[in-house]
Amino acid sequence: MRERLIRLGFTSGALILALGVTALLISMFDHSPIDVLETAWDGAFKDGRRFSAVVNFWIPLTLASIGLVVTFTAGLWNIGIEGQMIIGAVCASWAGLYFEAPSVILIPTCILLGAIGGMLWGMLAGLLKLRFGVHEIFGGVALNFIAANIAIYFISGPWQPPEGGSAQSTPPFQAAATLPRISDDLQFNLLFLLITIGAIIAIGLLLMFTRWGLTLRAVGKNAQSALLLGVRTERVTLSAFMVCGALGGIAGAHRVLQAYSSLRPSPAGGIGFLALLVVLLISFRAWWVPFIAFALAAIIAGSTRVKTLLQLDQSLAGVLQGLIVLTILIFNGLADRLTRKDHHE
């Protein structure tokens, strides 16, 4: 109990410190922090359209983050998440462009293809690690780069618009691939929302209550011992990459279907990297993912408005996010020390 209180205190202390430093930075640029906060708040919550933009950012961010919880639990630094999202986006785009079917079939097909593409790309990172001894961080960075170039290849090559186009986008997807919105105010897609919530619950429960979850944690804590105790660590590692990749792929499908209705260069939009921050922040606890992801999505939506109206640079949001992550990590470390000391007493 006392430990929890200490942790809560430290986390809120970290948040306050991060906000304080940001406020100080804002004042240094001759802006009022209160103004900025108000502008940002309106940017995220002013009306249905603003709120919908937050949700539409939250969906892929949450999917990618929840996927990363799986790999992190297994002790894997899946930097390749961005690439898994991109390949998911590319696969979903193929269906969006060429697979002619009514909406009810086409959209699930896009999602499914996105999941499969992301899963295979994730598996590749796993195989590189297991078969060739390439650390997943290096493998991931390389695979991200390759994925980005695959997207650019399709955009400027086989999928370029008939009129020759501008090498920046494929033609728009078929009308049937347009994601239905819940209403004029709630401009997000119900199916994706349900998939995201379902993924949070499923992964949360799987990690807590199943044998698979247990082996993941065992591998994450100490792969050597787990192996000695009879855990098939290779299979566990590979499955973690595949699950994470599949979720990343669905996130990528959401990006192309929702944000662009076409394939673009860097369709993942850095969301995979942001998801890494989310997971660092919550130290891999699945249940926290949706809340932290929502906060970050709101900060980003807000900062776009701050940039537009106050002409404060948008990178301020990046600074704030970085500060939050940094202070929370530092304070977590401090809290660890403090609570450990308590145990010794």
Partner 1 sequence: MRNKLLFFMAIIMTLLALIPVAAQDDEEFIFGMVLVGPRDDRGWSQAHYEGGLYVEERIPGARMLYFESLNPSDTPETTLMDVVSLFVDEGAQVIFTTSDAFEEDTNAVAREFPDVVFINVSGDDVLVGTAPPNLGNVMAQIEIPRLIAGCAAALTTQTGKIGYLGPLINAETRRVSSSAYLGARYCYENYAGGNAEDLEFKVVWIGFWFPIPGVTLDATEQSNAFFDDGFDVVMSGIDTAEMVIVAGQRQQEGENVYAIPYNSLEGCNQAPEACLGVPYYNWGVAYKSIIEEVQAGTWESRWDWVAPDYEDMNNLETSITGFALGEGLSEENAALLQEFIDELVAYQMENQDSFFLWQGPLNLQDGTILAEEGETVSLEDIWYLPQLLEGMQGDSE
> Does residue 328 contact residue 295 with C-beta atoms inside 8 Å?
no
19 touches partner 1 by CB under 8 A: no
When binding is defined by CB under 8 A, the residue of 117, 118, 269, 290 that contacts partner 1 is 269
Q: How far is the CB of 53 from partner 1 (least distance, A)?
A: 6
User: What are 265's two structure tokens?
Assistant: 């260069």
Which of positions 288-327 make contact with partner 1 (CB under 8 A)? Answer: 300-301, 304-305, 307-309, 311, 314
Residues 69-128 that bind partner 1 (CB under 8 A): none
Q: What would the 3-class secondary structure string for the chain be?
A: CHHHHHHHHHHHHHHHHHHHHHHHHHHHCCCCHHHHHHHHHHHHHCCHHHHHHHHHHHHHHHHHHHHHHHHHHCCCCCCCHHHHHHHHHHHHHHHHHHCCCCHHHHHHHHHHHHHHHHHHHHHHHHHHHHHHCCCHHHHHHHHHHHHHHHHHHHHHCCCCCCCCCCCCCCCCCCHHHCCCCCCCCCCCCHHHHHHHHHHHHHHHHHHHHCHHHHHHHHHHHCHHHHHHCCCCHHHHHHHHHHHHHHHHHHHHHHHHHHHHCCCCCCCCCCHHHHHHHHHHHCCCCHHHHHHHHHHHHHHHHHHHHHHHHHCCCCHHHHHHHHHHHHHHHHHHHHHHHHHHHHHHC
Q: Quote the least distance from Cβ 30 to partner 1, whole Å.
A: 19
Total interface residues for partner 1 by CB under 8 A: 38
Task: Choose which of 14, 53, 243, 256 interacts with partner 1 (CB under 8 A).
Answer: 53
Q: To the nearest whole angstrom, how small is the minimum distance from the Cβ of residue 82 to partner 1? A: 10
Residue 313 CB, shortest distance to partner 1, in Å, is: 9
C-beta of 344: minimal distance to partner 1 in Å? Answer: 45
Residues 138-177 that bind partner 1 (CB under 8 A): 148, 156, 163-169, 171-172
Calpha distance 171→263 (Å, rounded): 8
Q: Which one of 4-12, 132-140, 212-220, 259-267 is the stretch in contact with partner 1 (CB under 8 A)?
A: 259-267
| Spatial separation of the C-alpha atoms in residues 61 and 63, rounded to whole Å | 6
Using the rule CB under 8 A, which residue among 268, 279, 295, 325 binds partner 1?
Answer: 268
CA dist 165 and 152 (Å) reads 13
Please say which residue, 73 or 84, places its beta carbon nearer to partner 1: 84
Q: The tokens of 126 are what?
A: 């796993």
Residue number with CB closer to partner 1 (13 or 161): 161
Tell me which of 259, 310, 319, 329 binds partner 1, using CB under 8 A: 259
**Cβ at position 302, least distance to partner 1 in Å:** 11
Pick one of 257, 264, 325, 328: the residue that binds partner 1 (CB under 8 A).
264
Smallest gap from residue 265 Cβ to partner 1 (A)? 5
Interacting residue with partner 1 among 271, 277, 278, 295 (CB under 8 A): 271
Question: What is the maximum span of the chain, computed from C-alpha positions, in angstroms?
Answer: 75
- Give me the least distance between CB of 325 and partner 1, in Å please: 16
Question: Binding partner 1 by CB under 8 A: which of 65, 78, 262, 327?
Answer: 262
Interface residues with partner 1 (CB under 8 A) are 43, 46, 49-50, 53, 57, 148, 156, 163-169, 171-172, 259-262, 264-266, 268-271, 274, 300-301, 304-305, 307-309, 311, 314
